[in-house]
Amino acid sequence: MQVKPYTALQFGEINVDRCVESEGDFFPPAKFFPMSTPERIDAERDWMEPHYILPKSQGGRLQAGVFAYVIRTARHTILVDTCVGNDKTRSFSPAWHMKQTAWLSDLAAMGVVPEKVDYVMCTHLHVDHVGWNTRLENGRWVPTFPNARYIFARTEYDHWMQEQEFAGLDGCFADSVLPVVEAGRADLVKTDFAIDDSIWLEPSPGHTPGHICINLKGGGKSALFTGDSFHHPLQVAYPEWSSQFCTDKVQSAATRRKIVDRLCDTDTYMLAAHFSGANAGRVRRKGDRWKLVV
């Protein structure tokens, strides 16, 4: 069965497209969402197949993607989250270790060469959201987008700076965040920072301490880029399911519930960082739960 592809959205003069680095099978649900059960997942198959979960006849696995959103306004070209990146040492993950993809050429094929990007916004500083912030040039990590301002929430940056000093992490802070700061391209901002009156941040802590969502409005329409507040549409149905990677699982669940309540039965698009296929959806009530409608 063909999964319906993503199609670019238009918000007045603002175009929202996405550039995919990878797409396919997601973590086994019991591992990723410790609170999940096969029965509760099956109860949502009616609206999740085939975009977000394959039919059982095809193995039934959850699906996810790693991609960046590309926002083009009349004045700016903006990237939201920059995937895993090439050439990065990620020994904890065979799929992400020393990756070689054509993501940058794919972005250029969309009309976005690196020099053209005005802003890079990271919803948070996990490894799969900062990778293309930098690229390897003569053995050094340099900002991939030489003219861009990179927008990092200060609370997020401070958290990982501290973690790096004490825990070492997976290396992504050192190779994909610090070189941007050292090159003078980063702006460490408050969690309500606005680029203009059509694009602004809001705090959504829990998955990470300084996680932000990004609001967009234009042409009488609106969207919320929810980053990893939600990893899979299952969490629209079950906002209480925090992932094993959430820093604060209780706060993460509370943030999700707040977002679901706010978006439910409105026309605001939810644009998450890892929903696969036709991922731009709107939240609708389904009994005493919720679902995403594309």
**Rounded to the nearest 10 degrees, how much is the dihedral formed by the CA atoms of 51, 39, 260, 243?**
-90
Q: In whole angstroms, how close is the CB of 128 to Zn ion at the nearest point?
A: 4
d(CA 35, CA 243): 9
**Smaller CB distance to Zn ion: residue 86 or 198?**
86
The label of the residue with tokens 């301490």 reads 209
Select the span of 43-51, 113-121, 125-133, 188-196 touching Zn ion (CB under 5 A).
125-133
Among residues 49, 90, 30, which one has the least CA distance to residue 66? 90
Q: In whole angstroms, how close is the CB of 28 to Zn ion at the nearest point?
A: 17
Of the residues 128, 144, 150, 224, which one makes contact with Zn ion according to CB under 5 A: 128
**Smaller CB distance to Zn ion: residue 44 or 128?**
128
Contact 260, 283 (CB under 8 A): yes
Q: In whole angstroms, how close is the CB of 178 to Zn ion at the nearest point?
A: 20
Q: In whole angstroms, how close is the CB of 29 to Zn ion at the nearest point?
A: 16
Task: Give 238's contacts (C-beta < 8 A, 6+ positions apart).
Answer: 33, 35, 36, 40, 289
Q: In whole angstroms, how close is the CB of 126 to Zn ion at the nearest point?
A: 5
SS3 163: helix
**Smaller CB distance to Zn ion: residue 128 or 175?**
128
Binding map of Zn ion across residues 218-257, x = CB under 5 A, - = no contact? ----------x-----------------------------
Select the span of 27-35, 128-136, 179-187, 200-208 touching Zn ion (CB under 5 A).
128-136
Q: Is the dihedral of CA 226, 5, 56, 65 positive or negative?
A: negative
Among residues 39, 19, 38, which one has the least CA distance to residue 28? 38
Task: Give 261's contacts (C-beta < 8 A, 6+ positions apart).
Answer: none
For position 175 contacting Zn ion by CB under 5 A, the verdict is no
* 219 HSE (CA, 13 A, CB side): 12
Binding map of Zn ion across residues 180-199, x = CB under 5 A, - = no contact? --------------------
Q: In whole angstroms, how close is the CB of 124 to Zn ion at the nearest point?
A: 8
Q: In whole angstroms, how close is the CB of 221 to Zn ion at the nearest point?
A: 26
**Smaller CB distance to Zn ion: residue 128 or 156?**
128
**Smaller CB distance to Zn ion: residue 175 or 228?**
228
**Smaller CB distance to Zn ion: residue 44 or 228?**
228
**Smaller CB distance to Zn ion: residue 72 or 88?**
88
d(CA 277, CA 274): 10
Backbone φ, ψ for residue 224 (5° rounding): -125, 120
**Smaller CB distance to Zn ion: residue 11 or 132?**
132
The label of the residue with tokens 């906002």 reads 239
- Could you tell me how many residues make up the chain? 294
Among residues 276, 233, 281, which one has the least CA distance to residue 18? 276
Binders of Zn ion among 130-149, rule CB under 5 A? none
Tokens of 256: 């999700």
Size of site (CB under 5 A) for Zn ion = 2
Q: In whole angstroms, how close is the CB of 274 to Zn ion at the nearest point?
A: 6
Binding residues for Zn ion, rule: CB under 5 A, are: 128, 228
